[in-house]
A and B are shown apart, each in its own frame.
Chain A
Amino acid sequence: MTGIELRGVEKAYGGNQPVIENLDLQIEEGSFTVLLGPSGCGKSTILRMIAGLEKETAGEIFINGEDMRGTSPGARGIAMVFQNYALYPTMTVKENIEFGLKNIKVPKAEREARVDEVVRMVGLTEYINRKPQYLSGGQRQRVALARAIVKKPRVFLMDEPLSNLDAKLRAQIRTDLIELHRKLGATFVYVTHDQVEAMSMGTDIVLLEGGKIRQQGTPQSIYSAPRNLFTAQFIGAPPMNVIKAEDLGPGAVSIYKLPRGTASLGFRPEHTVIGDGTGVPKGVDLFRGELVAREILGDHAIYKFKTDLGIVHAKVMSGSIVEYGEWFVGAERKYLYCFDEKGDAII
């Protein structure tokens, strides 16, 4: 039994061109699935259709095998955490959390116990009688989470819940969410445009562009085996270096013995080799580049080279710091990714 399934889903606003067309998506039960993509790719729309806040123009949505057509948002067994928390401003923390339980008439004793447990879980015991406006951003976020958890839903939907927090808090709540997912064992569907959030938390990533799934898989498979240029360049920081095959010179594909049909080549900054032009290691192709920027980040450093073939980034984990000036950069053959004219990977 799959957790959530979308079959041939389409969404159009008014009479406009559909933003999502014929989308098939499977979200496994108990997974932490991240819908990742640039803004406008339709990821929030997908989430809102799963929640029932937005009606699909065509197609079917199943949650735990049940057709959700005509099922109201409240009856879908889901809970949602919003980007701006969406806490009820006139209610206290406790009232916010128990509102959903009161509406389905959970007996008072059970309600109190559940609220109490959740409040302790997210560490809000002291703030139970405060109104949201007197809480910090992180605390509000935790109230929003508590409000979702207390309903014991089968599915948690989260719409960029960390985007309003500062970097430090974001990192902390990221690990909190991973812990929470493991503890609850529920299905998490998480929308973000931040590939770091997707890679760090997701057990399954769905990469979207223009309303279409470009690749779905584990973070590891999406990172190591991108099926197209879009995936290759969206995942990883800095993004994959891409060089056009024609820039290597006429007949480069046969000279360098690249797979037939190769239009562009990619290699990850982690695999960039930096040399001074002497003692080129075997199997490495180097070309001239000038170091134009460097970021020393303690445990690793990121270098930006300007070459005749375009910008090349290098991410070096250790070793001596590279000085500004002329260098040779390149990559080992085994780390090269080849893409055809359409941007699809050649394997």
Chain B
Amino acid sequence: MRVQMPAFRRASGGACRTAVNFLIFAVFFIPFYWMFLTAIKNLGQTLQTPPTFWVARAHWENFNRVFEAIPFFSMLKNNAIMTFGIMICQFFTVIPAAYAFARFKFKGGGFLFGLTLATMMIPAQLVFLPLFLMFSKMGMVNSYASLILPWATSPFAIFMLRQAFKQVPQELIEAAKLDNANEWKIIFKLMLPIARPTIITLGLITFILNWNDYFWPFVLTTDNTVRTLPVGITSLNIVDGGVKYHILMAGNLLLVAPVLVVFLFAQKQIIKAFTYMGGK
């Protein structure tokens, strides 16, 4: 009996774990599968009850329909310009700010950092109207600048990166100073490589948030020439004669595909960033 008990327990524990793992997998995977499946169905199949979980023949032409319905490639280009524009801007604003807040003691530093964090608590609904008015007065509505500038920095990223910089032991910086490294060398050869996982993670978060952002580009643009993909995809929803789910989903699939690809490549770095934060 004594010998059998642990074996039984181990087996049941293993089974339990497998079940939980499968459940978690299902929760995350099924929506994606459903999106993919719907994207290759035809209209009849999408409305069928009970729904089918497999289609015999894929309707790839749904994707062509997306390209016909909206200026897809122009919107994709706009989306990329906006997202990468924001990422580049944040790179130049977040890193110096976080570095200054982490490393230098200066008058009003604490207050400024508090102010930076306080901006996180202002809801977007509160500022979008004044911002819109401001941009329209400056004649910047329907321009890339108006899509990029409001997100050119991120208090959240400043906060996270400041923490990462703060975790670097003072001794390391002193060692670098003794090694004749100037402040720039310390930043580029020491601090940034150490904070790399955090920077990549923040970059990814920024990428996903802005790539999928619907609200702001929708408010700030009236013209398809600068509109981004989420706005375009959503417009597939508003067509006469009912919602064409298969086309909507085909559009969605095209929208999220880049995010998935980026995530696959950056996965290792993200895990590293979070273990760094927790473990050390």
Contact = CB atoms under 8 A, between A and B. Distances in A.
Contacts of B196: 90
Interface string B183-209: 001000110011010000000000000
Interface residues of A, number: 24
Contacts, number: 60
Given A84-B169, A99-B181, A89 B175 contact: no
A92 to B, nearest CB: 12
A104 B171 contact: no
B180 A103 contact: yes
A100 interface: yes
Contact of A72 (B169, B175, B177, B194): B177
B178 interface: yes
Given A82-B174, A90-B193, A103-B185, A74 B169 contact: no
A196 interface: no
B190 A74 contact: no
Nearest to B181: A103
B180 A100 contact: yes
B172 interface: yes
Contacts of A72: 177
Nearest to B172: A86
A331 B117 CA distance: 70
Nearest to A95: B189
Contact of B172 (A51, A88, A104): A88
A110 B180 CA distance: 18
B194 A51 contact: no
A74 B180 contact: yes
Contacts of B179: 74, 99-100, 103, 147, 151
Contacts of A53: 174, 177-178
B107 to A, nearest CB: 16
A19 B177 CA distance: 24
Contacts of B175: 80, 82, 86-88, 147
B180 to A, nearest CB: 3
A187 B179 CA distance: 18
Contact of A84 (B171, B178, B185, B189): B171
A73 B185 contact: no
B205 to A, nearest CB: 22
Contacts of B43: none
- Specify which of B178, B185, B194, B196 lies most central, judged by the most chain A CB atoms within 10 Å of its CB: B178
Interface string A71-112: 011110011101110111111000000011001100000000
A99 B178 CA distance: 10
- Specify which of B177, B179, B190 lies most central, judged by the most chain A CB atoms within 10 Å of its CB: B179
A163 to B, nearest CB: 13
B169 A99 contact: no
B209 to A, nearest CB: 28
B80 interface: no
B176 interface: yes
Given A53-B174, A88-B190, 9 more contacts: A53-B178, A84-B171, A86-B174, A89-B194, A90-B190, A91-B189, A99-B189, A103-B180, A103-B185
Interface of B: 169, 171-172, 174-181, 185, 189-190, 193-194, 196
Q: Can you list the 6 inter-chain pairs with the closest CB atoms, starting with the nearest?
A: A74-B180, A100-B179, A90-B193, A86-B171, A86-B175, A103-B180
